[in-house]
Structure 1
Amino acid sequence: MASKSSSNGFRLEVLKARGNGVVTTIENISANATIAELKKQVAQLKPKLYPDRQSYRAEATGKSVKDSQKLSELNVDKTGKIYFKDLGPQIGWSTVFMAEYAGPLVIYLLFYIRPSIIYGSAASSKPIHLAAHLGAACWTFHYAKRVLETIFVHRFSHATMPIFNLFKNCSYYWGFTAFVSYFVNHPKYTPPSFGYAQIYLGLAIFLLSELGNLSIHLLLRDLRPPGTTERRIPYPNKTNPFTQLFHFVSCPNYTYEIGSWLGFSLMTQTLTAFLFAIAGAGQMTLWALGKHRAYKKEFTDKYPKQRKSIIPFLI
């Protein structure tokens, strides 16, 4: 039994989830205090452990609990112990997104102007094929859209992420941008095998997928009231046909994203663009599977049973 410090509170030991040791002890905390309030109290005692860096669980090997949960709901007012995990230095989601999306805008266009340091002094005099022009326009449009969505559309369930993600994500996006743009903008670029028909088909797939992706992001934004982490089951919007994909998958934004890059790959007919599309599809499939499981667990019998994660009828 936890020892009482007063009639209104109890003594709580904050223990490390891994290894031995006490992080700190709070002598008088209410059983009705939430995890969010606990984080603030720990931050007052340990300033380096600001709230976004803290994660808690009722058992050492248990799962992290939500900020909204009360200590009494976790039974820690009876045990007098709660387990802490240091999430490490954090950085804002929007900061990471801005960095990882702004980089590709600049890097791709640097290759597009064919600098002599990369392609040689004669490169700028070579004609640029329509597919390469459209590739630069589509790439710029996609990442400008990403930046604007980060500023005006997305509402994040978590304010921060580990700072390591900044370097990991930027390496992925910036590296693939250089990898793709080097070959699409190369003076010896070979245009698509089926000519303009293939180019315009790829462009149409890209643009329709981008519009679908934006439609899903706007719908998801409206599901979450500003300043909250509330989750609801997403359903199609009757006025927007692009959202009908919610009838079949939990994460149609990822489905459309894959469509965008497959369209780009078809339009430019470059192996590097196709590899970028495949790599992105693999990562987004993992994310979609995780989100699909989370939806089913949170909403149990209410969640539409016919939905797959990302590919209708398959995955």
Structure 2
Amino acid sequence: MSVTINLKSRGRLIKRLPTSVDVNPKSTPSELASQISSKTGLSIHRLRLTKASDGKVLEDLNISSNETVYVKDLGPQIGWRTVFVIEYLGPLLIHPLFFIPKLRTYIYPHIQASTASIPPTLNQQLLLYLVLMHFLKRELETLFVHKFSSATMPWRNLPKNSTHYWILSGLNLAWFLYHPLVITEGKYTFYTPSSTAILTFIVLWVFAQVSNFSTHLTLSNLRRAGTTTRGIPRGYGFNWVTCPNYFFEVLCWLAVWALSGFNWAVGLFTLVSAGQMYLWALKKEKRYRKEFGDKYKKKRAVLIPALL
């Protein structure tokens, strides 16, 4: 026995979209999408199915015969793994450019060439290594650790998603972080933290990176390969806040901020990143409560223990 489902395009017209299809009542939305994909020639990831009755995304096929389902073409897609690789590639390519002597005179044309060509300080070199290792770690996690609940996103969103990393943590951060002249107390001088400060914040940075990696492993192990189902995250960090991976990320950049002499560009990047992660953490807390109910231990703080 089969059920007839009427199909209509939402938004732009989808060529070769049949007016109706017959499906098994026990079929899943993914199987319906696969059937539509085979008939239209569009990737299954480009299709969004919503009920005509309430406009909600189709989560099951518990609908009556001859009910209408809207099909929306989301446009050309790009894999989320590729998206993250491209995003994190920005700082990895941009920051080293500021250490090329001949380029520094062009990057900083507003100051004398003799000053612009002065090599970066040891502290600036340290900051470069920390930034590069941070984003290299992210690239490796993207390739070998992370699992994604959604396979793709629209290509048109890539520039918007990449702006944060290519501009804010790329060009903006590098330009001020490696500037030949660092302003301190109204004078142009080089910032040189004490040996104790350097050691303290390097230890904090390493602790944050290792802890962040640990939480990413926990999250990755919650989702079985080939599925989008999740378990409840528990263990190190997760008993403190909803998203300890975000907390350790903020901690990492606070260490970099301190090592930079509290450079405003690093502070801005840290603040913007923390604000965005806080909003994401709030959404995750709400989703966990809805998805797992009483099985999930509610968190008061979602990002920073006892604060946010």
Indicate the TM-score class for this superposition, using the shorter chain for normalisation: 0.7 to 0.9
Q: Aligned-pair distance for 1:59? A: 4.1
Aligned counterparts, 1:145-224, within 5 A: 145-176=137-168, 177-189=170-182, 190-192=189-191, 195-224=194-223
Identity %: 37
Q: Which residue of 2 aligns with 1:105?
A: 92
Contact 1:265–1:274 (CA under 8 A) maintained in structure 2: yes
Q: Which residue of 1 aligns with 2:78?
A: 91
CA distance in 2, matches of 1:11, 1:82: 11
Give the alignment partner of residue 19 of structure 2, picking from 14, 25, 37: 25
Contact 2:49–2:58 (CA under 8 A) maintained in structure 1: yes
List runs of 5+ in structure 1 lacking aligned partners.
1-7, 237-242
Structure 1 residue 135 corresponds to structure 2 residue 134: no
CA distance in 2, matches of 1:21, 1:103: 36
Q: Which residue of 1 aligns with 2:107?
A: 118
Question: Residue type matched to 1:186 in 2?
Answer: H
CA distance in 2, matches of 1:273, 1:154: 26
- Mean Cα deviation higher: 50-59 or 250-259: 50-59
SS of 2:22's equivalent in the other structure is strand
Structure 1 residue 255 corresponds to structure 2 residue 244: no
Question: Residue type matched to 1:129 in 2?
Answer: T
Please report the TM-score for the alignment, with normalisation by the length of structure 1. Answer: 0.85
Taking a change above 3 Å as real, the CA distance of residues 162 and 21 of structure 1, as seen in their structure-2 partners, is: closer
Question: Residue type matched to 1:311 in 2?
Answer: I
Structure 1 residue 56 corresponds to structure 2 residue 49: yes
Q: Aligned-pair distance for 1:135? A: 0.6
Contact 1:192–1:199 (CA under 8 A) maintained in structure 2: no
Question: Residue type matched to 2:27 in 1?
Answer: A
Please report the TM-score for the alignment, with normalisation by the length of structure 2. Answer: 0.87
Aligned-residue CA RMSD in angstroms?
A: 2.3
Ranges of 4+ aligned residues in structure 1 off by more than 6 Å: 18-22
SS of 2:98's equivalent in the other structure is helix
Q: Which residue of 2 aligns with 1:297?
A: 290
| Residues 64-115 of structure 1: CA deviation (Å, up to 9, x unaligned) | 234xx3x1xx32x345222333333210011111111112101011113341
CA distance in 2, matches of 1:180, 1:65: 43
CA distance in 1, matches of 2:288, 2:264: 36
Q: Aligned-pair distance for 1:195? A: 3.3
Contact 1:292–1:308 (CA under 8 A) maintained in structure 2: no
Contact 1:233–1:303 (CA under 8 A) maintained in structure 2: yes
CA distance in 1, matches of 2:254, 2:56: 37
Structure 1 residue 43 corresponds to structure 2 residue 37: yes
| Residues 204-237 of structure 1: CA deviation (Å, up to 9, x unaligned) | 222211111111011111111111111100110x
- Mean Cα deviation higher: 165-174 or 77-86: 77-86
CA distance in 2, matches of 1:26, 1:223: 38
Q: Which residue of 1 aligns with 2:277?
A: 284
CA distance in 1, matches of 2:22, 2:167: 51
- Mean Cα deviation higher: 124-133 or 134-143: 124-133
Contact 2:81–2:142 (CA under 8 A) maintained in structure 1: yes
Contact 2:145–2:217 (CA under 8 A) maintained in structure 1: yes
| Residues 124-155 of structure 1: CA deviation (Å, up to 9, x unaligned) | 75242222011100011011001111111011
Q: Aligned-pair distance for 1:203? A: 2.4
- For these two proteins, the number of residue pairs brought into alignment is 294
Taking a change above 3 Å as real, the CA distance of residues 276 and 43 of structure 1, as seen in their structure-2 partners, is: same
Taking a change above 3 Å as real, the CA distance of residues 19 and 155 of structure 1, as seen in their structure-2 partners, is: closer
Q: Aligned-pair distance for 1:289? A: 0.9
Taking a change above 3 Å as real, the CA distance of residues 21 and 52 of structure 1, as seen in their structure-2 partners, is: closer
Taking a change above 3 Å as real, the CA distance of residues 199 and 51 of structure 1, as seen in their structure-2 partners, is: same
